């Protein structure tokens, strides 16, 4: 089964970017539309597995857009809204939405709800068992173990989460905030330098297996990435 495609219909760029990042790190493909018109076009042109739909769109209410979607499709829908009124939740669910989240919300909770809905609909998202890059790394999601050059790395859960993210996206630079959001349950409780400490420990563990290993690269002013060999 391939990656699932999530349509994000949200007009606030910062919120849309956060959702897209969270979706991508969970092995799903995000597609963004800022209006209902653009969202309708993407629904027609792509195979969409779930829609994350903002209620307050600039060209049309998300409720109205949901009504139009439901005349043609049973695609799962999660509403996002700045309001947490009970009447809004009831209206959204009665229109055929599968779930409802009020802003501000946790991107991690949103992706958990996406997974739960896809499981219920029989289209669960595959967890990666990744071999990358060039077979140097192997990720075993069942045992939460990462192998480097055939040897298991003794990783904490934070180290596992950070390294697994970079393995899935070799060459992509991740900021400290992005790594913290992905690896920590409560990222606000930790400081940026915590990431630096864990990266240093990861490098040490990799070099115990291969002294010449320099695959975790620092991009000054940007963050860290898993180096892709030319």
Task: Provide the pLDDT for residue 193.
Answer: 72
Share the mean pLDDT of the chain. Answer: 82
- pLDDT tens readout for residues 9-25: 999 999 999 999 999 88
Average pLDDT over residues 143-147: 84
Scored b (16 or more CB within 10 A) or e, 14-47 reads ebbebbbbbbbbbbbbbbbbbbbebbbebbeeee
Residue 230, pLDDT above cutoff 70 = no
67 Cα distance to chain centroid: 27
Residue 98, pLDDT above cutoff 80 = yes
User: In the CATH scheme, what is the homologous superfamily, with its name and number, of domain 4-120?
Assistant: Response regulator (3.40.50.2300)
What is the residue extent of each domain of the chain?
Answer: 4-120, 137-226
Residue 55, pLDDT above cutoff 50 = yes
Residue 128, pLDDT above cutoff 90 = no
Q: How many CB atoms lie within 10 A of CB 175?
A: 15
Q: How far is CA 48 from CA 9, 43, 52, in A?
A: 12, 6, 11
> Is this model's pTM higher than 0.85 or not?
no
Residue 121, pLDDT above cutoff 70 = no
- pLDDT tens readout for residues 169-220: 888 899 888 888 888 766 454 455 788 888 999 999 999 998 888 889 998 8
Task: Categorize the per-residue pLDDT at 167 as very low, low, confident or very high, splitting at 50, 70 and 90.
Answer: confident
- pLDDT tens readout for residues 74-92: 889 999 987 666 556 676 6
Higher pLDDT, 112 or 120: 112
Higher pLDDT, 72 or 133: 72
State the Cα–Cα distance between residues 88 and 155, nearest whole angstrom.
44
Task: Provide the pLDDT for residue 213.
Answer: 87
113 Cα distance to chain centroid: 12
State percent of the chain over pLDDT 70. Answer: 84
Is domain 137-226 classified as CATH 1.20.20.10?
no
């Amino acid at each position: 089964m391939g990656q699932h495609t999530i349509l994000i219909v949200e007009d606030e760029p910062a919120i849309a970017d956060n959702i897209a990042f969270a979706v991508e790190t969970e092995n799903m493909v995000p597609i963004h539309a800022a209006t209902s018109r653009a969202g309708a076009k993407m629904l027609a042109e792509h195979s969409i597995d779930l829609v994350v739909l903002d209620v307050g769109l600039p060209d049309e209410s998300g409720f109205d857009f949901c009504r139009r979607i439901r005349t043609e499709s049973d695609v799962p829908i999660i509403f996002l809204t700045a309001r947490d009124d009970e009447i809004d939740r009831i209206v959204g669910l009665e229109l055929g939405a599968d779930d409802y989240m009020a802003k501000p919300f946790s991107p991690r909770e949103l992706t958990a709800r996406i997974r739960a809905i896809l499981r219920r609909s029989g289209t669960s998202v595959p967890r990666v068992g990744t071999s990358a890059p060039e077979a140097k790394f192997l990720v075993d999601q069942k045992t939460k173990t990462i192998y480097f050059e055939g040897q298991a790395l003794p990783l904490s859960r934070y180290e596992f989460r950070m390294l697994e993210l970079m393995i899935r996206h070799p060459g992509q630079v991740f900021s400290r905030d992005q790594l913290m959001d992905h690896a920590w349950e409560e990222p606000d409780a930790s400081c940026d330098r915590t990431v630096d400490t864990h990266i240093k420990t990861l490098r040490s563990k990799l070099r115990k297996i291969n002294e010449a290993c320099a695959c975790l690269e620092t991009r000054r002013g940007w963050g860290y990435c898993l180096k892709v060999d030319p």
